Amino acid sequence: MAIKERKVIMAKEVGFCFGVKRAINLTRQALSEREDVFILGDLVHNKRVTDELEGKGLRKEEDYDENSSGTMVIRAHGLPKAKIQMAKTIGLEVVDATCPIVLRAQEAAQMLERDGYQVVIVGDENHAEIKGILGALEQPALVVDSIEELHTAKASYKLLRKVGVIFQTTHALELCNEIVNEMLMMCKEIRIINTICRPVQNRQDDAVELASRVQLMIVVGSATSANTMELAALCRHHNPNTVHVQNAEELQYETFRDVEVVGLASGLSTPEDLVEAVRVKVLTYEPEPATAAV
Ligand code: SF4
């Protein structure tokens, strides 16, 4: 049986973003130079990478306490500053792999607070990055992730009249725009600092444009990666025939069997070779013909 001719159009950028690459490199370096290295949570939302680092000795911990020892790596998402300070106080060495773009979002929130604004963060309050930003502030900030949450905050007098807004770095601009537009009708003064990460935004714009001109869009990345899931949702919005897979094995033949033009994009914590394996499968895979019963 002849292999059906298919074309795969790759997004302009796939694989790790520079913040994730930097965090992985800093962790590898710490593991090569130090004895006892641990991290709170996963360094990246990708099992293959975390398995590799754990194989080199990285310990994954839920938290540290006064009996902890060794070197603690801070993930690209960052940590609340009190948590970093406490780690140093009890004698832990700290390798700070917080992404510089996340640090800039923390600084933007601090500046808004200093200038007398109620800090409003558009993002997921359970995300580590948002906890890090909240922990950089003196006062509690408001975190909203939908128009409904904004209305709830307004109805319970939690939204003030003079607000300074920042965004979770990996959030989609479309969603942030909707929330800010709604806020315009509720507040007297709004100052916005766009803290969305430029590599994220470029990937989203590029993937959306690609999704809208292919028959099938495939987004590769971990199911625990917020930016991957958000990228897939955005693509699905522009092309309902969008699938999310974590690797080539998860991609079903039926999904691409009758398709001629496929778009391929990835989350920011997806290794490039996983994306390449999906590309190769779409281009070359054909199932074995069924053998007739004798
Ligand atoms: S997505 Fe952006 S902010 Fe997050 S680690 Fe990557 S470069 Fe940094």
Tens digits of pLDDT across the chain (294 residues):
555 689 999 999 999 999 999 999 999 999 999 999 999 998 988 888 899 999 999 999 999 999 999 999 999 999 999 999 999 999 999 999 999 999 999 999 999 999 999 999 999 999 999 999 999 999 999 999 999 999 999 999 999 999 999 999 988 888 899 999 999 999 999 999 999 999 889 999 999 999 999 999 999 999 988 889 989 999 999 999 999 999 999 999 999 999 999 999 999 989 999 999 999 999 999 887 766 555
Domain annotation covers residue 294: no
Q: Give me ligand 1 centre to Cα 68, in Å.
A: 29
3-state secondary structure of 40: strand
CATH code for position 88 = 3.40.50.11270
Q: Which two tokens stand for residue 63?
A: 């938290």
Coil vs helix vs strand at 36: coil
Regarding whether 153 and 107 lie in a shared domain, the answer is yes
Active site residues: 129
Q: Is there a domain that residue 292 lies in?
A: no
Q: Write the DSSP symbol of residue 248.
A: G
d(CA 243, CA 225): 15
Final residue of a domain: which of 74, 98, 122?
Answer: 98
φ, ψ at 37 (rounded to 5°)? -120, 130
Q: What is the pLDDT of residue 291?
A: 64
Last residue of a domain, one of 51, 78, 98: 98
Shared domain for 191 and 122, answered yes or no, is: yes
Closest-CA residue to 46 (of 175, 252, 221): 221
16 CA: nearest ligand 1 atom? 6
289 falls within a domain: no
Q: Is the Cβ atom of 76 under 6 angstroms away from ligand 1?
A: yes
Give me the CATH number covering residue 149: 3.40.1010.20
Task: Give pLDDT, residue 293.
Answer: 55
Report residue 218 as tokens.
């495939």
CA torsion angle 124 60 23 205 (round to 10):
-30
Domain span including residue 151: 101-196
Q: Does 270 lie in the same domain as 211?
A: yes
Shared domain check, 170 and 124: yes
Structure token digits, residue 162: 């003079």
- For ligand 1, say whether the CB of 204 is within 6 Å of any of its atoms: no
Orientation angle between helical segments 100-114 and 18-33, nearest 10 degrees: 110
Same-domain pairing of 188 and 131: yes
Q: Residues 190, 203: one domain? A: no
Ligand 1 center–CA 198 separation, angstroms: 8
- Where does a domain end: 49, 81, 98? 98
Answer left, alpha or beta for residue 65, where phi above 0 means left and psi between -120 and 50 means alpha: beta
SS3 state at 249:
helix
User: Does 50 share its domain with 126?
Assistant: no
Closest ligand 1 atom, residue 101 Cα:
3
Structural domain total, the chain? 3
141 closest CA partner among 159, 120, 126: 120
197 Cβ below 6 A of ligand 1: yes
Domain annotation covers residue 1? no
Which residues, other chains included, contact 119 with Cβ-Cβ below 8 Å and sequence gap of 6+? Answer: 109, 112, 113, 137, 139, 141, 142, 163, 164, 166
Q: Whose CA is nearest to atom 7 of ligand 1?
A: 19
Does some domain include residue 203?
yes
State whether the beta carbon of 97 lies less than 6 angstroms from ligand 1: no
* pTM assigned to the model: 0.86
CA distances from 26 to 30, 43, 219 (A): 6, 11, 27
Give dist(CA 31, CA 17) in Å, integer: 21
231 lines ligand 1 (CB under 6 A): no
Question: Quick check: 76 and 23 in contact, CB under 8 A?
Answer: yes
Do 243 and 216 contact (CB within 8 A), yes or no?
Answer: yes
Is 121 found in the same domain as 54? no
